[in-house]
Amino acid sequence: MFSHKSFALVLAFALAASFISASGTRAQQQQSQPQATPQPKPTPKTDEAIDEDDVERVETDLTNVLFTATDRNKRFITTLKQEDLTVLEDGVPQQVFTFQRNVDLPLSLAILIDCSNSQERTLPEEKRAAQQFVDTVIRPSKDEVAVLTFTGETTLEQGLTGSAVRARRAIERVEFQPPSGYIGGGLVVTTPGGVGGGTPPISGDNQNRAGSTAIWDSIWVTSREVLADTSDKTRRAIILLTDGDDTSSRMKLTEAIDSALKVDAIVYAIGIGDSFSFSGVDEGSLRKITERTGGRAYFPRNETDLRSAFAQIQDELREQYLVAYSPSNKAKDGTYRKVQIDLKDPELRKNLKLTYRQGYFARSAVEAKPVRK
């Protein structure tokens, strides 16, 4: 057993995009800058810290791109060869050094659960499906998973752990978080302690955001504070359960996408609204963030569809290809590079769909990325 200690979460943001470093500098380092507003950071609800391994500094010029291939019936195709592909960066063909099918890479996953009003009725089904997903996917001593919840704030319910039991318990603790005065059925009462009568947020801004939804903030802080320091040898992914209706993020959708790309994290979205209704689900935004990062968006209509979505995500995480190339553009300028993978055979192009991240941010000259051994 482990203890669950509640702490207040302070979400604050950069005054301008220029303060957000393309190198993916961690949020607490930003807080030391005298002219920058502190960056958002999830507050752990447990006193368990993420395990730290020995860290070494390495330099590599290789760019890794994971992709999946599916046919028109959405079946995974696992027979492609290196000679079937052409890889381009900013329109320039690249020499591929590595091509392999990856079914056994370690996973670093973050499950983000929307606890705002729109999820009140579907949250129990979401929790059951997420727990089943954890039980099926997480392999002891190989994979790790974190659990976060969000409304207008982001809370770290469970730091990265290889224990499916701990992850399941964290998911079980997740509850709908009504705004102050909300008791359902359209009735409103005043509670002296804020949300649920408990300790109020430490800032007036957080008090006002208690009943809102900050999806893009949640992805931004998860990428930078949870996934950024995982090993380069792991496959990073964010599983997002929400209706996609962002009402209070300080970060923009594009900034959330960039934050995931900078840590090579794929975003999978399960777009689900009240009572599995498409009403109020922002499909466009969820499709955009998943397609740009190489993931996929699912829109279940019932609990069976929900479980099927988790099962498809599991299959996709295991049925990916890896291509690695050394970019012909050697400039370490931190700029965004567009990636394109084409199939040479016209018949393959017509019948197969490739899913992959559409670009990445080059490292800057001063960046040295920590890698766990």
Q: Name the residue ranges covered by the structural domains of the chain.
A: 26-55+106-319, 57-104+321-372
**What residues have CB less than 8 Å from 79, skipping those under 6 apart?**
none
pLDDT band at residue 181, thresholds of 50, 70 and 90? Answer: low
Average confidence (pLDDT) over 285-289 = 96
Which residue type occupies 145?
V
Q: DSSP assignment of 295-360, as one string?
A: --EE--SSHHHHHHHHHHHHHHHHSEEEEEE--S----B--EEEEEEEESSHHHHHH-EEEE--EE
Rounded Cα–Cα distance for residues 194 and 249 (Å):
21
Residue 299 has pLDDT above 50, yes or no: yes
- The strand pairing partners of 270, in sequence order, are 241, 298
Are 135 and 205 a contacting pair, CB within 8 Å?
no
Q: 3-state class of 151 per DSSP? A: coil
**What residues have CB less than 8 Å from 266, skipping those under 6 apart?**
66, 235, 236, 237, 238, 260, 293, 294, 295, 357
Rounded Cα–Cα distance for residues 317 and 339 (Å):
20
Q: Which residue has the higher pLDDT, 350 or 120?
A: 350
Rounded Cα–Cα distance for residues 247 and 373 (Å):
40
Average confidence (pLDDT) over 253-257 = 96
Enter the tokens of residue 14. 């950069």
Are 195 and 180 a contacting pair, CB within 8 Å?
yes
Q: Which residue has the higher pLDDT, 24 or 238?
A: 238
Q: Which residue has the higher pLDDT, 202 or 47?
A: 47
pLDDT band at residue 211, thresholds of 50, 70 and 90? Answer: low
- Which of the 8 DSSP states describes residue 363? P
Map tokens 């499906």 to a residue. Answer: 129
Provide the CATH number for the domain formed by 26-55+106-319 in this structure: 3.40.50.410
Residue 106 has pLDDT above 50, yes or no: yes
- The strand pairing partners of 86, in sequence order, are 342
Average confidence (pLDDT) over 261-282 = 84
Provide the whole-model pTM. 0.73
Q: Which residue has the higher pLDDT, 9 or 312?
A: 312
Furthest C-alpha separation in the chain: 67
Of 291, 292, 357, 298, the residue nearest 322 (C-alpha):
357
**Predicted confidence (pLDDT) per residue in 113-169, tens digit:** 999 887 888 888 999 999 999 999 999 889 999 999 999 999 999 999 999 999 999
Give how far Cα 120 sits from Cα of 188, 255, 306, 354, Å: 16, 28, 16, 35
**Other Cβ atoms closer than 10 A to 53:** 10
- Residue 156: phi and psi, rounded to 5, are -85, 105
**Predicted confidence (pLDDT) per residue in 2-60, tens digit:** 334 333 333 333 333 333 343 444 444 444 444 444 455 665 554 343 343 433 333 45
Cα end-to-end distance, the chain, whole Å: 28
How many residues are listed for the chain in this entry? 373
Of 322, 248, 240, the residue nearest 287 (C-alpha):
240
